[in-house]
Amino acid sequence: MKKIDTKLFRLGGIIQLGFPGIGQMEIEAFKRLSGFRFCGGLKMWHITYHSEVISYLNGLYNGRYVFIEDRTDLKQIIDVEEEKLKKEAHVRLDRESGKMYVKHSFDSKFFKALRVLEGSHYDSVNKFWTIPLGDNYERLCKTAKAYAFELKASAIESVTKSTSHINNISPQASLSVLSEADIAVLNRFQRELSFRNRSNRTAVSYLEYAQRFIGHFQGRNLQEIGNLEIQEYLNDMVLNRGYSYSTLNMHISAIRSLYNLVFRISLQDIELPRPKSAKDLPKVLSMREIQRMIEGIANKKHQLIISLLYSTGMRRAEILALKTTDLDLESGTIRIHGKGNKYRTAYISKNLHKLLTGYIKAYKPDDFLLEGQGGQQYSATSIEKVIKRSAVKAGITKRVTPHMLRHSYATHLISKGAALPYVQKLLGHTSIKTTMIYTHVADNDLKNLPNPLDDMDL
């Protein structure tokens, strides 16, 4: 159980309870507290104080944290000046499309002033404005000055100046055979994906599939292509080009995003049924095989990689992104930055704690937990090689991948009786249906369970 010190101070005449020296793990855990905020003057996170707040916190986080009460006399606590909130508006100018995109600090009056600009539209999901350029930019500058907003403007570079990025994505549909209008659509799609901070991997895949889609209907107005034609195109992907069901699903997502982001047309109402993927069960290793992989190598870093993948169910990318600050050895937790910018918590087992302690002592990582040459992030290829070599050394003949250790972790948890919602949370699955596939693998172990009839002397 981790001890959390507290500090009393007064901010704007209101007594606050501060948490000095807490790390990122605690910041994420305490975000559920009402009024949890940061004091720039003291560089400290805090909440409003009341007489029973310490007992409330100890009850709320019982078993994880214990809060130490600050005994300073309330008459003697320090006063901190309230800092003036910095009001900023970030503007991205897209002169090619004749629009600007605006994100700003919350201010109800400034919000209302932008709402009356001609043609302005607020995206309530992604929290930004889309506003036509022209006179609106000058009006925005005047509005920002009137409400004491600092305006930070940047231009969205034209992708048409360098088409090599898109051209290298898909050799099957070269940009040279597309019309200028088609290339303009692709360019805009790329800008829209970039503005919405889609991961590079997703953006590259979506652009590739969009390019193939546009190339197939070359010279056609995409807004006039009907549902039946799109379905025939997708059927061709499977029947004649050998696309897998998972690839086809990604292709459908790319087409939907293309229409939604570029044309503002929702294909949700257009019937594009997603195919059911083949029922291939995840490939798993036995506990004995994994043990042989770990015991068969002497390198502490390689031992840790295998153990982390297996004992936490992390994905390869998640392990590569781990920072030393994500570890809390005292409370036995790891903060994982998962898919879709979602965070979850993994719990450090006794054996993993021993491996982590030995590894940190030997390697002394600074930023990333797994460091490559020059303190840079460890490479995905290196992890592949570590898993492959350790599997061969352990006498495992089948092909072993990093993701198989995640599959094995989930399957072994369920085999040992772990409830599905718990496994879902540990793996970071959005839907429990994704987790349920491991129950089919775990069913193979049911035959080994003792039968009560065999306990009878018949």
Query: Do residues 252 and 234 lie in contact, with contact meaning Cβ atoms separated by under 8 Å?
Result: yes
**How far from the centroid of its chain's Cα atoms is residue 10's Cα?**
37
Residue type, 12: G
- How far is residue 113's CA from residue 146's CA, in Å, rounded to a whole number? 10
Closest to 370 (Cα-Cα) out of 416, 334, 423: 334
Given the structure tokens 């309530």, which residue do they identify? 124
Given the structure tokens 């007064």, which residue do they identify? 10
Greatest CA separation for the chain: 93
Query: Do residues 217 and 178 lie in contact, with contact meaning Cβ atoms separated by under 8 Å?
Result: no
The first and second tokens of residue 392, run together, are 């061969």
List the catalytic residues.
Answer: 315, 339, 403, 406, 429, 438
- How far is residue 26's CA from residue 33's CA, in Å, rounded to a whole number? 11
Residues listed for the chain: 458
Give the number of C-alpha atoms closer than 13 A to the C-alpha of residue 273, restricted to the C-beta side.
6
Q: 92-108: b or e for each residue (b if 16 or more CB lie within 10 Å)?
A: bbbebbebbbbebeebe
The first and second tokens of residue 238, run together, are 């499977």
What is 400-416 written as a DSSP string? --HHHHHHHHHHHHHHT
Question: Rounded to the nearest 10 degrees, how much is the dihedral formed by the CA atoms of 278, 281, 282, 284?
Answer: -160
- How far is residue 96's CA from residue 190's CA, in Å, rounded to a whole number? 13
Measuring CA to CA, how many Å separate 298 from each of 164, 202, 288, 393? 45, 37, 18, 12
- How far is residue 19's CA from residue 172's CA, in Å, rounded to a whole number? 57
- How far is residue 316's CA from residue 299's CA, in Å, rounded to a whole number? 19
The first and second tokens of residue 291, run together, are 């043990």
